[in-house]
Chains A and B, each alone.
Chain A
Amino acid sequence: MIIVGEMINASRASIKEAVEKQDADFIIRIAKEQIEAGVDYIDVNAGTFVEKETEYLCWLIETIQDAIDAPLCLDSPDPDALSEAVKICKGEPMINSISMEEGRLKRLLPTLVSRPCQVIALCMGRTSMPATTSERVKVGSELIRELTDNGIPLENIHVDPLIQPVSVDIRMGIAALEAISRIMHDFPGVNTICGLSNISFGLPKRHLINRNFLALAMSHGLSGAILDPTDKRLMSTLLSVNMLLGHDEYCENYIDAYQNDRLG
């Protein structure tokens, strides 16, 4: 599993405040906490600042990478902000995200091919949100073809099936799960990734729903997740499911987590 830590997002009040005050120590602390919790990438998002987004996103990247050597997941719906962010980011960044929405892929393609990077391909339709499995698979396949045609290796593509709340439409859970299965089946070598919190919008005890959804998604082939790595119960679900699916040789990671008191 590829784990992306979602805590450095300016839509969270504490992060927003730290960014406004340019409180580097706070940001570095949150970054380190996530690394210690076992993430592969640290997501950075300054989207709530609108006009200052690019400036703050770049500040987040420099602040974190000056302090620690960590791969980053650059998170913005704005292709221009992402292009600027990629320029200053060290290592091989993950780009979150591109989609078939007008301009989003085209404007970002030159950046994507300019250097090796991982790309999250969001299954958002051209004119509407996908509802069914086949709508998701159609958009996902189209994105994979566009990216591979432009020389981006399949292994660097992470398809996000676009998770929508079951509270609004009860079929949204199974539609996303089956989309994950089909994309993983149709494109061997490709990755799938998603956030977990959208699934539980509008319902009580969201953490419970989120971690059960993670288990189901993993059993459908999900290979990455954008999540809160400091949520011990969620991480315990991830570790145990990963083991149950046969991805944890000798149950090493699971036992290691137990012996280091990391299981919730």
Chain B
Amino acid sequence: MNDFQVVADAVHKGDIKTAVAETQKALDKGADIQNFLDKALIATMDEVGERFSKGITFVPQMLRSAKTMQECMKLLAPFFQQGTVKSKGKVLIGTVKGDLHDIGKNLVAMMLEGAGFTITDMGVDIQPEKFVHKAQEIEPDIIAMSALLSTTMPSMPMTIEALDKAGIRDKVKVIIGGAPVTEKYAREIKADSYGSDAGASVNLAKSLLGLN
């Protein structure tokens, strides 16, 4: 049992009130912030993601835990700004041009955030040029694209091409997902990887950045 078990349990259960109160307590006591983030929050969300991928826990439970973690993270925000704690990496995420589906994209964003990544969520119907401009601005480690329709999947290679033209393709890892998207498609369009669900995308992001 680690020192932060109460917070970890509360995040697991999605008990926002307890999680936030206990986080505040830990901060007041002068806990090592990086250690707290890793053990109380990220490790718990890792477990939640794993249980989700295995079909033991379900979307509402995962959302609840993620929401609880987000509330705790608000208390930690100042430490990120000071540089006391570090993000695992920056992820730029969005649903591609012509596609308005956001459920899967939101789940992936939430789980990546839970795993300690910093997320910039561009929303839906994102043109390739918009991905490029935002990428130039924030210099993400990973660009994550979602498509739910066979008709909008071609926006993925278009975006990759646009990154290429802008000369930044080799500076980012590109991951893709969505119901009609496959591993094979990822290879065909020269994306770096494919994620089958929100839990899997976390492992993917970590391994692409050599964090596993």
Residues of A in contact with B (beta carbons under 8 Å apart): 11, 47-50, 53, 76-78, 101-102, 124-125, 127-129, 164-165, 167-168, 170, 201-204
Contacts and interface: CB of A to CB of B under 8 A. Distances in A.
B125 interface: yes
A102 B185 CA distance: 25
A109 to B, nearest CB: 17
Contacts of B63: 167-168
Contacts of A50: 150, 153-154, 180, 185
Contacts of A129: 100-102
B59 A165 contact: yes
B102 A77 contact: no
| Chain A interface main SS type | loop
Interface in B152-179: 152-154, 179
A167 B60 contact: yes
Contacts of A78: 150-151
A49 B150 CA distance: 8
Contacts of B149: 47, 77
B98 A102 contact: yes
A167 B58 CA distance: 8
A11 B180 CA distance: 7
| Chain B interface main SS type | loop
Interface of B: 55, 58-60, 63, 98, 100-103, 106-107, 124-125, 149-154, 179-180, 185
A124 B100 CA distance: 8
A122 B77 CA distance: 42
Contact of B124 (A102, A128, A170): A128
A113 B194 CA distance: 41
Contact of A168 (B59, B100, B179): B59
Given A11-B180, A127-B100, A165-B103, A47 B150 contact: yes
Contacts of A101: 98, 100
B150 A203 contact: no
A163 to B, nearest CB: 12
B58 A204 contact: yes
19 contacts: A50-B153, A50-B154, A50-B180, A50-B185, A77-B150, A77-B151, A101-B100, A127-B100, A127-B124, A127-B125, A128-B124, A165-B103, A167-B58, A168-B59, A170-B60, A201-B59, A202-B58, A202-B60, A203-B60
A202 B153 contact: no
B59 A11 contact: no
A253 B102 CA distance: 41
A48 B125 contact: no
Nearest to B55: A204
A202 B101 contact: no
Nearest to B56: A204
Contacts of A49: 150
Contact of B179 (A11, A125, A128, A202): A11
Contacts of B153: 50
Given A101-B100, A164-B103, A165-B59, 18 more contacts: A11-B180, A47-B149, A47-B180, A48-B150, A48-B180, A50-B153, A50-B154, A77-B150, A77-B152, A127-B100, A167-B58, A167-B63, A168-B60, A168-B63, A201-B59, A202-B58, A202-B59, A203-B58
A102 B179 CA distance: 21
B54 to A, nearest CB: 12
B51 to A, nearest CB: 13
A174 B5 CA distance: 38
A132 to B, nearest CB: 15
B59 A167 contact: yes
B71 to A, nearest CB: 18
Contact of A125 (B55, B100, B150): B100
Nearest to A125: B100
